Structure 1
Amino acid sequence: MTASDDLPVRDELRGQSPYGAPQLDVPVRLNTNENPYPLPEELVARIAERVTEAARGLNRYPDRDAVELRTRLAAYLTRTGGHPVNTDGVWAANGSNEVLQQLLQAFGGPGRTALGFEPSYSMHALIARGTGTGWLSGPREEDFTIDVEAARRAIARHRPHVVFVCSPNNPTGTAVAGETVAALYDAAQKAARGRGALVVVDEAYGEFSHRPSLLPLLAGRPNLAVSRTMSKAFGAAGLRLGYLAADPAVVDAVQLVRLPYHLSAVTQATALAALEHTDTLLGYVEELKAERDRIVRELRAAGCEVTDSDANFVQFGRFTGEGGAHAVWQALLEHGVLVRDNGVPGWLRVTAGTPEENDAFLDAVRAVMKEKKP
């Protein structure tokens, strides 16, 4: 039987595995940072109306530039992000991963490098590899924060073409201060070759943070882009809609590499319907923030070490006994609860679910801590 490595694939793809989390049939699944609340019925009905309207024109290509959707996204960011955003400074694609891919296609690529501060969202490195961009791992402190001086030195040494900052960071949940991002931006421009370096702030979990959005940093920084998603706060992981805010010139550059008509009419219609119900959906976000904070308190009371979180998930540990974190992961699974082992030594990550799901998770943790004393 032929394997992919038997084919003439690119050398850097040989022996690699695709991204993915285990999808197991267990009572409580808290491993992929999904919003646990289904869309409200009134929104489901509005989606049906908008999709029905769009279906009548499916014989034609959709709006190639998604102008109406980008206009509504700009209005949402202006209202919630503390910074005025115009339509020409917003771009949308099939999930924030496609947004990041398009940025690397435009600003990375063969002969260029991207730098991120690991542990962080593993897709940054995977998308870099997929676009032929060299990947560099920058330093983090023991508490998973970014040491500005160490980061500056790494940027000066490697002179990357693209720098990734994830805030709140996945999988640790830590948010990054605006002053830190501004310092890294300045360092990247100083070290850059030619016309500067692109700095990408990944705010996929931005709505869950106690800190304000980093969108105001866009002012006066043409090489900065802030990416977002509707998968988390909007509870629409199945929609696959991501977007970015940046200088209009960045949006123009991204359009050089985007596929024609990349956002279907159905996707645009569904996203527009969701944006009509922003206040309701953000109400669920407040509930999840309260549950996240409860998880942090209860895990610490159970004897776990917990990283401060500004996301809809919590990193907990440190498990150094026999089998380490993966043994605890397996024990929780045996109690019917699936969490995420991201490969960070000694640590696991759990998504904030419904109160009932969180109760089940916390009960399982207490039982495992008693059984295994990890």
Structure 2
Amino acid sequence: MPDQIYLRPIGLAPSPQSEEGDCIRLAGGLTHAHRFAAILRRDGEVIERWRFTPATVDEMLGRLPDGFGADAEAQWANLRMAHPPIEMGARTVRLDQPQIMGILNVTPDSFSDGGKFLDDPEEGRAHAAAMLEAGAAIVDVGGESTRPGAPAVWEGDELARVIPAIEYCAGMGAAISVDTRRPAVMDAALHAGAHMVNDVSALRHDPRSLELVAARACPVVLVHAPGKGDDLHGGADYESVVFDVFDWLRERRDAAVEAGVPRGRIVLDPGIGFGKSLGENLALLNALPLFHALGQPLLLGASRKRMIGALSNEAPAHERRGGSIALAIAGMNAGVQLLRVHDVAETVQARNVWRGLRDAALTDFSDLPA
């Protein structure tokens, strides 16, 4: 593999004044970063590492070996990029603070809700309404379980599950994402009122997906999953999970752009829980600020996932709320723009308190002498 350079934020700050202005507003959000590492990787191994701050970035760039300056400068610009809002029909989802995407699974085998929203459409409708009332910016509708070992779903069954749910969410005026990897389902969902495609295969499952998303010019979430075909979790073989997922997402972003998907409509998701061990998931979560160097908004989907149970005496899915909130806050601290969650009201409340702390930090040095 060719040599690669990565610019990773390694020191976050509560406010600009805490570092006397020597920091950046990470990805245009409410998180500030002061210290960074420029990491040079060759043949899968880190061979050089330089630490710098915004005040010394030009010096660092001047020390890089020939051929890396342009990529490093692009990543530095990406880390400071303020992303425009996502337009979803009549709804505008701003990306200058974390936004909550509520999960509506209409499957018979969901690990989190046991299929109740499929069996009883009125229950699904009430759940969607409750998430919107609680402050969800987007409702993500899915008709196929993607947990390890889940069977593939026939396209006709998936359509029968998601289209009614999308229609009643559209009737509420919701911004809607469809969680699918099949182009026919994407197309029907967009016609039924969905605005965004959330593809756990990053538009690899069917080559027609790239063409469809490009033609519809809709926002799309590209999720990292190592597997191909029906097994999204298989085939994982990482030299360094953080850098490998970064490179993979960059390749999928570039493939989408080459196919005609506007870059401003691409969201990236590192795929927590998809073909990754507990240690690999934790490494990715700790490295989330790095992924802003790709220059796209980020989505984090860690709610109620298996790793929470592994860290919590094997707590079952319905008892993983506390761990889910902890991971959501970790995402907020890392500057992640979209949080895909089951527990919307609790996560919105955590976000609002987190935002209050961030806002207060901008003035908490005002009583110090000049």
The higher relative CO (CA closer than 8 Å, separation ≥ 6) is in: 1
Where is the strand percentage greater, Structure 1 or Structure 2?
Answer: 2
TM-score (norm 2): 0.30
